[in-house]
Structure 1
């Protein structure tokens, strides 16, 4: 994919979501190459749970490279009530995408995993060698086991067919085009939406829990630049964690303060300590990433938050919420 004389066709499955749209943004703003054609697929292009539909999409676009982001996802309640469905649908999606990639001669596939697939009982910081070291949390075992199987599929396609199929494990992703639903979305987009509404009402807003838990947040456009690097340069089958370092962990309280600054919100906030905090820390180790890219510059958290908040305000009517 590196040389200018070879032309590449990169198919991004799940291309209309948070990470897919971030990749589109960075490709269109300096990270694309003249010899690359990028296709951002959506559910309109294919039903990836169906083998024939998936094959038709691959035959139509003829990709040479694939970034596989598509998945059946849901919040805590969705997973709890439908683990079997999450398991079966995601197994089908992943098996179809990788099988059709192999069948049509795609040499490079980068699939997206999640930190939630790691064992429930583990030590921190977590690293790439620990994915299969024990059962995942019971609440989302269906999704987690389906994602873990991508790693197993990658090993098989590499060992038996010499394919360069690998996977990435991002930490908490946020940015433009996120899902800003307060009940179902993740913590940062939920906070952004809460503060937007509180500002309209001129009232303080409420943070669920104590605000003490700490998380590693990665800006979707930084993640996009890293995924493109993985597609072009990373040759290992083993997954790679894409994350800021432990030193850049942010507490939920600090995140709420930064969102308030970014939104120019002056009314203050309260903590609903009757709501559960969840795990205090789920630190991921980015040593492998830093070994490869010691100079990579992450967007400073306040700047990334400001860009995300500005996007949400400007696109409020069409944003997912």
Structure 2
């Protein structure tokens, strides 16, 4: 079954195709020989369709007639915007996800792989987190609207399989970083915001001010590794149950260690100040990649220092177009 799908020509529609993960998938397809003969890949951005609108979603699906979909598009924002507008994040993301999944169903799409987020897991839980624990309790209060909307993708995937036999599934990456990320200091991902902050401090000759003690620990996955894994999941992963895509538990690092890696990559010699009057947030969100390793025991992740160096190099080289 899997080999039949793999050899048949695919027309893959990637929603959210201009973002961090979409650009990584595009790189893997176009630069690394990830595209098979006869395949077509279409990378959508917000300019192509507003997926909150069912009519625009339908129109873009009718235009491209995909056989497969990688669903990355989401309404996202920084921590404080999430805290202020949980209802907006809930409603818009429920609409986006329902429009994409239902339109895929109506148009006979063979497979959909949606991208969830590690923030969907229960706030109070045991570690390491695994795929069976998504619905075991409420997510963190700060972005509960976004988290519940993302959880509903898993619920819908199960329902589409139960009612129609569709193989719609989802992957759950841990903290992603890499080229084309949002480097905005206020609402970017943690590593990318720190890269921009350190670059500005080096230019200005000032210290880097890091929010919190630097003690929270995170598992960081380089975006190009994630892109390769999502392409693999589209071709080979046949379960409806979600799959965590992450480096190993022992590769979890503290924010403090990550900041020093960034300083090394940017040749920043100044002082790093940890502002302990600011909140640390969750101290850890350790996830298990045991299920992924059962499928791909030999997959090699980009070492964190190397991924940070490549991201810093990209940021400096593309500063004029980077999202800052």
Structure 2 counterparts to residues 97-108 of structure 1, below 5 A: 97-108=100-111
Indicate the residue corresponding to 1:29 in structure 2: 31
Can you list the C-alpha shifts for 1:284-319, whole angstroms capped at 9, x where unaligned? 111100010000000111111111000000111111
Inter-partner Cα distance in structure 2 for 1:58 and 1:107: 13
Residue among 36, 60, 65 paired with 1:62:
65
Residue among 70, 75, 89 paired with 1:86:
89
* Equivalent position SS for 1:284: coil
Residue among 196, 200, 205 paired with 1:197:
200
Indicate the residue corresponding to 2:124 in structure 1: 121
What TM-score do the two structures reach when normalised by structure 2?
0.97
Q: Which moved more, 1:194-203 or 1:296-305?
A: 194-203
Indicate whether 1:11 and 2:6 are aligned. no
Decide whether aligned partners of structure 1 residues 256 and 95 sit closer, same or farther in structure 2, where only a CA change above 3 A counts: same
Indicate the residue corresponding to 1:145 in structure 2: 148
Inter-partner Cα distance in structure 2 for 1:261 and 1:33: 39
Structure 1 unaligned runs (5+)?
none
Residue among 151, 168, 173 paired with 1:170:
173
The structure 1 segments of at least 4 consecutive aligned residues displaced by more than 3 Å after TM superposition are 1-5
* Equivalent position SS for 1:67: strand
Indicate whether 1:222 and 2:262 are aligned. no
Inter-partner Cα distance in structure 1 for 2:187 and 2:145: 18
Aligned residues: 321
Structure 2 counterparts to residues 41-80 of structure 1, below 5 A: 41-80=44-83
Contact 1:181 1:190 in 2 (8 A): yes
* Equivalent position SS for 1:265: coil
Contact 1:183 1:190 in 2 (8 A): yes
Give me the CA root mean square deviation: 1.2
Structure 2 unaligned runs (5+)?
none
Shift of 1:65: 0.5
Inter-partner Cα distance in structure 2 for 1:217 and 1:139: 21
Indicate the residue corresponding to 2:187 in structure 1: 184
Shift of 1:5: 5.4
Inter-partner Cα distance in structure 1 for 2:3 and 2:109: 15
Decide whether aligned partners of structure 1 residues 236 and 17 sit closer, same or farther in structure 2, where only a CA change above 3 A counts: same
* Equivalent position SS for 1:207: strand
Indicate the residue corresponding to 1:40 in structure 2: 43
Contact 1:10 1:66 in 2 (8 A): yes
Indicate the residue corresponding to 1:244 in structure 2: 247
What TM-score do the two structures reach when normalised by structure 1?
0.97
Indicate the residue corresponding to 2:269 in structure 1: 266
